[in-house]
Amino acid sequence: MDTMTIIWIIVAIVVVLAVAALLIAASRKRNERRHREADSIRAKAQEQTSVVEKREALAEETAANARKAQAEAEAKAAEAKRLQVDAQTHQNTATTSRDDLKQEWKRADELDPEVKATGAASNDARTTDARTTDARAADARTTDGGPANARTDGTSSTNTHGAHAKPTDTSAT
């Protein structure tokens, strides 16, 4: 081997080593830059973590408030339903009582000889009370959506006397 060949081999080895060293240095530099970039992204993500946790807490609190409001609304609806049933029961009882009272008035009118002779009812207060009761019954029908004077046996009656009608003696004694 001559010296020139040895020199070219040594130069080639040095060039290959220099290129390898440059490639290794460039790779390390690139890795270092990527590591810094990753650290920067992690720092930003850490900052966003607290914001996201606050948003999650707010979302959970809002959902809890919504559930509470829904439960309150359901309780109010149940109470309203119960009160409607109570009101309907009271209305039915009042209507039945009114019908019974009407029968009593009718029976009294049938027994009273003066009413039979004149053909007029013995108590004018009944007709005044009837108008008041009819207005209340109409109001109850429009509010509840059902007949205010419906009986539980499926029949209905009309209110012709007021709920507070009391027999009064208007005849001179």
For residue 122, name the pLDDT band (cuts at 50, 70, 90).
low
For residue 159, name the pLDDT band (cuts at 50, 70, 90).
very low
**pLDDT recorded at residue 115:** 73
Q: Give the C-alpha separation, 115 to 163, whole Å.
A: 23
3-state secondary structure of 31: helix
- pLDDT one-digit tens code per residue, 25-69: 999 999 999 999 999 999 999 999 999 999 999 999 999 999 999
- Bridge partners (DSSP) of residue 150 are 156
Residue 154 above 60 pLDDT? Answer: no
Q: Give the C-alpha separation, 26 to 4, whole Å.
A: 32
**pLDDT recorded at residue 162:** 44
pTM for the whole structure: 0.41
**Cβ of 141: how many Cβ atoms within 10 Å?**
15
**pLDDT recorded at residue 150:** 46
